[in-house]
């Protein structure tokens, strides 16, 4: 509770009086009417979805489903840690945080928003977990226990993130919690495909009273963490709130202006700002090869200085197999996730190309052949895409999604040149052009500017990976012809992308 002296502070009363006009009867009517319309539209689908939860769990999907839930929870915690999570608008962060006003009174609205986001996210995770484990009996009790457990996990995780913003020791505990959630995801994926499937089946068949007891204990722990987080609001350093508020303002600006490319710069600046890098001599081979490999060597250094991100990327190669086991329905979703993951791996090391596009004058001063630079910079994206896709294909084959064969993994290295070409094209694309026309469709208006921006680079990767996608869709008995066709198509796409004339190939 906020003390009475805090609530009646003259400065806070002045700010509240001028923060916005008071709500009128029309505002309240609009809000209530919107809630009624949402209830009328979503009532039947929600009721049908809840009724569909009354089923026995499928033992084959318990492990992958639990792995996806645990990975989603880890992503929620990582996102909360990356955003702050305690943030304020730019003006409030600049003036109110550094003022002598009571900190908890200034951050009260932010705390309420964080609590609401945690409750909604936790409820969604709880329902997803219940859909995985099923409710063979006592649907009401199991549903309530799943909701309470999910909300407790979401609220407790958000409170831990707030505590992590206060001190490095608490932040280390938050990182340990994220690592624990990822470990649970990996363990569930392993148990779901082996003899440990009986353990997960026993958990699914546990009595509803046990789930209610666990939910009660989790709610008590979450309440304790919320109390600790509320008390820690006064002790969060102002510099951390200012830094997280600035970072979130940039992310919000990128979202409102439909410029997702800005998010890359925000993430890179947030990571490298204030870090002291050790100077190391370059390998002699790089110096002897010429200027083009020297310019590309910075990407190798960037990847080597972040081994954690590289390890997480390689560990994510198991996601297509986990997704295929969790949802079933053939290899279509797994093929889409395979293409997205491999393209993400290739795009992770194209920062130099993006910087050359943002500052072309500096690149022209180097007087290096643009085609040679692009060829040198395509090596690392191709290697990462080949490694990631090969591991993912091996995982799909071990999970039984792909038939037995000796050359399925070779589709990944064969498609790597096309994926590297698509990643380089994505890095060179310009900001979103909002002056382009809007297409009217039966589903609503579609702005062509963001659509073209999103498809730039993806189209090239998709075109060059058609043989691999065809093999994943048809699953032939002999995949060797597809591997040869994919190798030819990938090399042709990369060569055409590098040799294409135009000013975009200039350094």
| Any domain includes 50 | yes
pLDDT of residue 421: 92
| Any domain includes 13 | no
> Which of 254, 273, 302 represents a domain boundary (last residue)?
254
Residue 504 φ/ψ, nearest 5 degrees: -70, -20
3-state SS class at 445 = strand
| Any domain includes 234 | yes
CA–CA dist 306, 348 (Å, integer): 11
Q: DSSP string of 107-139?
A: THHHHHHHHHHHHHHHHHHHHHHHHHH--SS-H
Residues 447 and 495 in one domain: yes
Tokens of 43: 């009532």
pLDDT tens figures, 348-363: 888 888 877 777 777 6
Range 275-296 average pLDDT: 73
Is pLDDT of 250 > 80? no
Residues in contact with 299: Cβ distance below 8 Å, sequence separation at least 6, in sequence order: 349, 350, 351, 352, 377, 380
pLDDT tens figures, 106-147: 888 888 999 999 999 999 999 888 888 887 778 778 888 889
CA angle (26, 30, 35) in 5-degree steps = 150
Is pLDDT of 70 > 60? yes
Is pLDDT of 368 > 90? no
pLDDT of residue 4: 45
CA–CA dist 395, 400 (Å, integer): 9
Residues 77 and 172 in one domain: yes
> Which of 238, 254, 270 represents a domain boundary (last residue)?
254
| Any domain includes 32 | no
Residues 243 and 342 in one domain: no
Query: Average pLDDT of the chain?
Result: 81
Range 207-224 average pLDDT: 89
Q: How confident is the model at residue 221 (pLDDT cuts 50, 70, 90)?
A: very high
Is pLDDT of 2 > 60? no
Contact 345, 388 (CB under 8 A): yes
pLDDT tens figures, 394-447: 888 887 778 877 788 999 999 999 999 999 998 888 877 778 888 887 767 788
Q: How many CB atoms lie within 10 A of CB 50?
A: 16
Q: How confident is the model at residue 21 (pLDDT cuts 50, 70, 90)?
A: low
Sign, CA torsion 452/455/457/460: negative
3-state SS class at 447 = strand
Contact 385, 346 (CB under 8 A): yes
Side-chain-side CA neighbours of residue 322 (13 Å):
25
| Any domain includes 156 | yes
Residues 244 and 309 in one domain: no
Contact 335, 469 (CB under 8 A): yes
| Any domain includes 3 | no
> Which of 217, 233, 254 represents a domain boundary (last residue)?
254
Sign, CA torsion 63/66/70/72: positive
Q: In 305-378, which residue ranges form alpha helices assigned H by DSSP?
A: 307-315, 319-327, 332-347, 351-358, 360-364, 370-377
Residues 182 and 133 in one domain: yes
| Any domain includes 462 | yes
Range 327-356 average pLDDT: 81
Residues 248 and 385 in one domain: no
- Sort 196 into a burial class: Cβ within 10 Å, 0-12 / 13-18 / 19+: middle
Residues 390 and 246 in one domain: no
How far CA 438 is from CA of 441, 452, 456, in Å, comes to 10, 12, 18
Q: Considering only CA atoms, which of 244, 262, 443, 428 is closest in space to residue 352?
A: 428
**Domain carrying residue 144:** 40-254
Number of domain units in the chain:
2
Long-range pairs, 487-490, Cβ under 8 A, ≥24? 487/414, 489/418, 489/464, 489/465, 490/414, 490/415, 490/416, 490/417, 490/418, 490/419, 490/464, 490/465
223 cis-preceded (ω within 30 degrees of 0):
no
Residues 441 and 497 in one domain: yes
Residues 236 and 160 in one domain: yes
Residues 221 and 318 in one domain: no
Contact 507, 359 (CB under 8 A): no
Is pLDDT of 329 > 80? no
CA–CA dist 461, 339 (Å, integer): 9
Q: What percent of the chain has pLDDT over 70?
A: 86
Q: Could you tell me how far CA 174 lies from the centroid of its own chain? A: 18
DSSP letter at 444 equals E
Residues 227 and 287 in one domain: no
The tokens 């608008």 sit on which residue? 89
3-state SS class at 430 = coil
Tokens of 91: 């003006």
CA–CA dist 349, 305 (Å, integer): 12
Is pLDDT of 7 > 60? no
Q: Considering only CA atoms, which of 371, 370, 354 is closest in space to residue 298?
A: 354
| Any domain includes 164 | yes
Residues 322 and 244 in one domain: no
């Amino acid at each position: 509770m906020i003390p009475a002296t805090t609530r009646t502070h003259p400065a806070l009363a002045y700010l509240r009086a001028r923060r916005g006009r008071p709500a009128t009867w029309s505002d309240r009517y609009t809000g209530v009417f919107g809630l009624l319309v949402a209830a009328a539209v979503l009532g039947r689908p929600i009721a049908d979805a809840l009724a569909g939860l009354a089923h026995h769990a499928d033992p084959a999907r318990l492990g992958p489903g639990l792995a996806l839930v645990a990975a989603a929870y880890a992503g929620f915690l990582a996102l909360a840690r990356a955003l702050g999570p305690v943030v304020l608008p730019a003006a409030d962060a600049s003036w109110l945080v550094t003022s002598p006003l009571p900190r908890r009174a200034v951050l009260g609205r932010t705390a309420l928003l964080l609590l609401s986001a945690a409750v909604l996210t936790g409820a969604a995770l709880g329902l997803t977990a219940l859909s995985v484990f099923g409710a063979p009996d006592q649907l009401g009790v199991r549903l309530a226990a799943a909701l309470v457990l999910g909300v407790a996990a979401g609220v407790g995780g958000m409170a831990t993130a707030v505590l992590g913003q206060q001190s490095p020791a608490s932040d280390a505990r938050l990182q340990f919690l994220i690592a624990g959630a990822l470990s649970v995801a990996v363990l569930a994926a392993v148990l779901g495909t082996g003899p440990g499937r009986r353990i997960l089946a026993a958990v699914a068949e546990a009595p509803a009273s046990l789930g209610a007891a666990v939910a009660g204990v989790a709610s008590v722990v979450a309440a304790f963490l919320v109390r600790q987080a509320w008390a820690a609001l006064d002790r969060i350093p102002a510099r951390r709130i200012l830094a997280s508020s600035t970072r979130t303002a940039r992310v919000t600006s990128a979202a409102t202006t439909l410029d997702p490319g800005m998010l890359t710069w925000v993430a890179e600046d947030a990571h490298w700002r204030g870090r002291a890098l050790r100077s190391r001599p370059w390998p002699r081979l790089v110096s002897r090869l010429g200027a083009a490999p020297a310019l590309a060597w910075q990407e190798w250094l960037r990847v080597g200085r972040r081994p954690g991100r590289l390890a997480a990327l390689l560990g994510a190669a198991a996601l297509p197999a986990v997704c295929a086991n969790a949802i079933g329905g053939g290899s279509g979703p797994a093929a889409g996730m395979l293409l997205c993951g491999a393209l993400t791996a290739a795009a992770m090391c194209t920062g130099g190309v993006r910087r050359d596009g943002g500052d072309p004058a500096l690149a022209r001063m180097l007087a290096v052949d643009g085609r040679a630079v692009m060829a040198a910079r395509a090596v690392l994206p191709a290697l990462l895409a080949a490694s990631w896709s090969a591991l993912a294909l091996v995982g799909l084959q071990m999970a039984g999604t792909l038939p037995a064969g000796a050359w399925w993994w070779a589709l990944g290295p064969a498609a790597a040149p096309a994926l590297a070409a698509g990643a380089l094209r994505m890095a060179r694309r310009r900001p979103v052009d909002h002056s382009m026309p809007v297409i009217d469709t039966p589903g609503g208006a579609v702005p062509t500017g963001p659509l073209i921006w999103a498809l730039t680079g993806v189209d090239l990767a998709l075109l060059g990976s058609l043989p691999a996608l065809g093999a994943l869709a048809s699953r032939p008995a002999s995949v060797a012809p597809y591997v040869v066709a994919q190798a030819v198509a990938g090399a042709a796409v990369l060569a055409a992308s590098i040799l294409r004339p135009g000013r975009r190939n200039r350094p």
